[in-house]
Every structure is written in C-alpha cells, then in structure tokens.
Structure 1
C-alpha cells in the first residue's frame, strides 16, 4: 500500500527527477514521451504554474508521483463542472509493473471524491495501448482522440464521480 505525500514547492525537484528518470528510460526504449526541456524546474513552473505536486512511497522508497491542477485549457469545452486534472503520473522504472500506478489513480479518485469533485480528467498518448488499459481498468472512460499542435495524437479520458463501488 502506498503513502501519498504532497510536496512543498521547494521539493519540486524530487518529482522532476523521477520524471526525468522515466523520460530517459522511455527514450531508451524508443517510446519518448516527455520533452526533457519541460522537466526542468523553470520550464515546468512556467507551464503548470503552482500545481499540487505529490510523491507516493512504498515504505521509505519514493516510487512515483503526479501533479493535480484545477484547470486545463485542453478541456475548456467541458467547463462548468468541478474537475481536477492529472498530469505527469510517473512510476520510477525499477518499480514498473507492480501496481503502483493503479494504486496512485485509486488514491487520486478517492481524494477528488472526498472533496465533492465531479470528475477526474487526464490525457495520454493515443499510441500507448498499455496506458489505455491502465486508465480503463481504473475507471476512466476514453473520449475521442485529439491532435495536438505538434501532431501528437492524444486520448482524453475522465472518471465521473461519485463512483459506484
């Protein structure tokens, strides 16, 4: 079972180092995902502002993290609802495949539901079927794909709250 800790902004580099580690691992596997320039502190802050940053641990080991924001311009057409948006969900490579992403997503859904939020939203690279399976298994419904300005096809997905248990 994971423990989730919200990071003070002075510890943002804890999360960024995990993101850079995973980005390098994905790049080495020929599946580049995150532009490393956006994983440097100044660029990250410029892009996301002051998001809620979280790290999750198994015992003393930091195994992953994520950020939550309360607005996302890519979802403007679905305005009028109280939603939160998950970005940069990461599990460190040596902990991959052990269910940590599923646990983190469950924690995020519980966190949002306890606050009366209507939906949790995210998006993922459309060419990553393992991500589609992960998010669907955790209660996220895929919506029609979008093409980003750089040509990347992404799949938006949302989990409606409260959930049926």
Structure 2
C-alpha cells in the first residue's frame, strides 16, 4: 500500500511541475512529407474568448532544410474572416558563419521559437501561415506551431 501511495505522489508531483501555467493555447500542424508545399496554408483557430498575450511561432525543422532562414507570411483574421493584419517575417534557423542550428533539439531535429511582431492590438480568432521561400517544396520543415502565453 505504501508503494502505491508513493507512486501516486510521484505521478501527481510530475504532472504539477510539467504543466505550464502561462500557456493559454498551444497547437502544432505537422507535415507528413516533412516538407512545406508552397500552396499549403497552416491555420490555427482559437476558441472565443480568444486568449490574450504574446503569440509565439514554433518552427520544427531538420538538417535537410537547405536555407539559413525561413520567410513566412502570417495573416490574423477576426471571427468573420476579415484580415486584421498581414506581415512578412524572417525567422533565422541557422547561424550565419558556423551553420549551427539556432533552435533547441537533439539529433537532426530542432525547434526554433520566435515571438510574432503583431502590430494590431485587436484580438484575432484565426491565424494563417504561408511559406514565402519561392520554392515549390520546402524540404526539412516538419511542423509549424503556435503558442499563446499570458502577459
């Protein structure tokens, strides 16, 4: 009986410390072929009321990615589908000189987090991401994610 209660205590303790109380939304959309096609739009829709706070983009990539950076466009939309904001951003994925990955990870897979430079203070209901690298098949991108955290 004592072993069971100790086991349950450890499980509860781990679950409490593994939860991030600052996160209000987090979701990832993976690419089965580990490449981002130019016509593919990654979209995230949040429940109303929309959580407030910074929007953090996550790019999961591997060593097959051929470029130093990733240009992508994000569009924020309201609940009626009207565009609130549209902006092109440059996300560096590898160091300029050494070619070392800038993201966190191990092996050949890394995740780079970057805060989106939202200029509109209007709450958005949906956000869409499009790759702007001018290639049909952007190899090495495994997933795109979005995280909202409390201020």
TM-score, normalised relative to structure 1: 0.26
Larger-Rg structure: 2
Query: Higher strand fraction: Structure 1 or Structure 2?
Result: 2
